[in-house]
Structure 1
Amino acid sequence: MKLSLSATKLVQPRVSLGLNLEAFFRRKDKVVFVMGATGTGKSRLAIDLATRFPAEIVNSDKMQVYKGLDILTNKVSEEECRGVPHHLLGIVDPDSNFTSMDFQHRASLAVESIHAEGRLPIIAGGSNSYIEALVSDDPEFRLRCECCFLWVDVSLPVLHSFVSQRVDKMVQAGLVDEAAQMFDPLADYSLGIRRAIGVPELDQYFRGGPTVDAKIRARMLHTAISKIKQNTCTLASRQLQKILRLYNNWNWRMHRIDATEVFLKRGDEADEAWERLVAGPSTMIVDQFLCEQNRVPTILTSAVPIAAAVAAASR
């Protein structure tokens, strides 16, 4: 496990005439974010943490927020949720356009309601633009909340192999039939849930219909599945770059959890590695975060640059 280390330099807060000092210095509510590229185990970690702390999960995946396509968008099942309440999961009409501003508003309300119940909000998902809209663009959220970011990272070559295998499992679970129910030859693939990887890629296959020669149809399906894998890997790479950009631009209090070893093992060995390298250390980080009093405003300086760590891990 590799965690980012940070040193702090105390600075005097700059006070403007319009600043509410009482609100500025009051004890802030805690919020935990679980970030990472697609396929790294964000949902699993969030649920693990929510079973160890009095917590509820707020989904921050821009495709999982929509109703439908549960296989293709890889929504957690009721069994996988293990009784943990989830917010903003499968609640939006699939033909609507749920924006970052919509997420900012709805997530802020969800966080308030969870805090009102004396519980910990854990915001988990791969849509970093949603997270940025809430954390960086919402002054009320920044004023009320103190955040801890857990970044689950996996070496890209290992992750790419995993997500390709996951696509095969999703196909076996019924991804194609599920997407066929959503197919509309007049649909706009730039809106709603039809933007999800797996829907546009299957368009030509569905347009061909059952009248196409069986061998040609099989090749079309193979091509579509290959594109789904390729585009999912590209998404993972883009998400990684976005996380690095957020860290560099905002100096977020981010802990990098290297889960690569977990993905190189199978069965009980993988479960043991998950607890040892991911769930266990993350639990310790969150426990320490919750026990801390709010800190004096600080400037964070990374002692071990995350970007350098990622570059080394990805070679």
Structure 2
Amino acid sequence: MSSLPMQMWKQAQPLLKIPTSLLKKEVLNPWKQQRDKVVFIMGATGTGKSRLSIDLATSFPAEIINSDKIQVYKGLDIVTNKITRQEQCGVPHHLLDIVNPNVDYKSKDFCLMATHAVESILQQDKLPIIVGGSNSYIESLVSDPKYGFKFNYDCCFLWVDVSVSVLHKSVSNRVDKMVQSGLVDEVRGIFDPYNSDYTRGIRQAIGVPEFDTFFRTEHHLDESDRDKQLQGAISEIKENTCKLVNKQLKKIHILKHLKAWELYRLDATEVFNNGNEDVANDAWHKMVTQPSLEIVTQFLSNTRNLDPNFSARRVLRNMIEQNHPLIATA
């Protein structure tokens, strides 16, 4: 989820006009090898991945697949910072808030469920958008031969990036807002004094184990010590969130620079550096939404300098038939 409030979000406006005749030629050419298209949105926690996914899914006929290994669990909506129903803007979301919180959800489970979701979305002539911060899960899905992702699909990878120092400050502020929204009571609701295992299920989420000592001792402390203990837990959550940011960025750099994944970097630092709501919105549109729409439109219409086997399929056909505003009618 973006660390910016929902009221700051603006839906993306159509940016490109692609000649319909060219699109039809590419979409309907029966002699070209055709593979279905899948868009991935990657990035560290708190960079605005969910915001961008909604921008794209409200501009293209698309549905969203969650690739966050914690948000897949039911419950703890504040801790896991799940996108709300209102924020989803009516866009169908898959693999979100569906798994029993006590189940140990693994990479192989994600790969199987995500592959099924991709196919179900494509069968509706829509574009699958896979979004989340669990980059190791995405790597397994794309690279493991047993899932056939590279063979069956053409993939476009968008990377929403924010400078580390700015992002650390932003996610720390986000923790404070989560506390104000009821984080402590939400975690207290699942606290079990007889269970100190925080390695499985939703209990491994950052924001849960950090409160263990506080919940065990709060009734034996005076107000001053209780507050110190609470602030210590909150500080630990901030520290662990920043560590997660660093780990996620390290993985992305490995994928891009060592494994040669073609990741399109979108620098959103200016958005998070600006405290003015309108200016931040304008920066998001200019630095993230607009280039993302251009990249995805070119990806779907094969106007990028890519492998010649890349060709548009059902998504663009559906856009043409519906006279989608991103496509010129001339």
CA 1:297 to 1:51, structure 2 compared with 1: closer, same or farther past 3 Å? closer
2:40 to 33, 36, 40: 33
Question: CA–CA distance in 1 between the matches of 2:242 and 2:279?
Answer: 25
CA distance in 1, matches of 2:103, 2:56: 32
Partner of 1:18: none
CA distance in 2, matches of 1:209, 1:260: 39
Distance 1:111 1:249 in 2: 27
How many Å separate the matches in 2 of 1:101 and 1:211? 44
Report whether the alignment pairs 1:205 with 2:217.
Answer: no
- TM-score of the superposition, structure 1-length normalised? 0.84
Structure 1: runs of 5 or more not aligned: 1-24, 299-315
Deviations 1:136-155 (A, max 9, x none): 11442221101000000000
Q: Do structure 1's residue 179 and structure 2's residue 176 form an aligned pair?
A: no
Match of 2:178 among 170, 176, 193: 170
Residue 302 (structure 2) pairs with residue 295 (structure 1): no
Q: Which moved more, 1:118-127 or 1:239-248?
A: 239-248
Q: Aligned pair 1:189/2:198, yes or no?
A: yes
Residue aligned with 1:78, SS: coil
- Partner of 2:267 in structure 1? 258
Cα RMSD (Å) = 1.4
Shift of 1:214: 1.4
SS state of the match for residue 57, structure 1?
A: strand
Task: Tell me which of 38, 57, 62 is aligned to 1:50.
Answer: 57
Cα displacement (A) at 1:251 = 1.6
TM-score by length of 2: 0.81
Distance in 2 (alpha carbons) for counterparts of 1:198 and 1:247: 30
CA distance in 2, matches of 1:28, 1:98: 29
Structure 2, unmatched stretches of 5+, are 1-31, 311-330
CA–CA distance in structure 1, aligned partners of residues 308 and 282 of structure 2 = 38
Deviation at 1:249, TM superposition (A): 3.6
After alignment, is 185-194 or 39-48 more displaced? 185-194
Q: Is the 8 A contact 2:33 2:309 kept in 1?
A: no
- Which of 232, 235, 239 does residue 244 from structure 2 map onto? 235
In structure 2, give the amino acid aligned to 1:107: A
Deviation at 1:26, TM superposition (A): 2.9
Number of matched residues?
274
What amino acid sits opposite 2:290 in the alignment? G
Output one character per residue of 1:152-184: Cα deviation in whole Å (capped at 9) or x when no partner. Answer: 000000000000000000000000000001111
**Structure 1 residues 235 and 75: CA distance shift in structure 2, 3 A:** same
Please state how far the C-alpha of 1:296 moved relative to its aligned partner.
Answer: 3.9
Partner SS state of residue 189, structure 2: helix
1:156 matched to which residue of 2?
A: 164
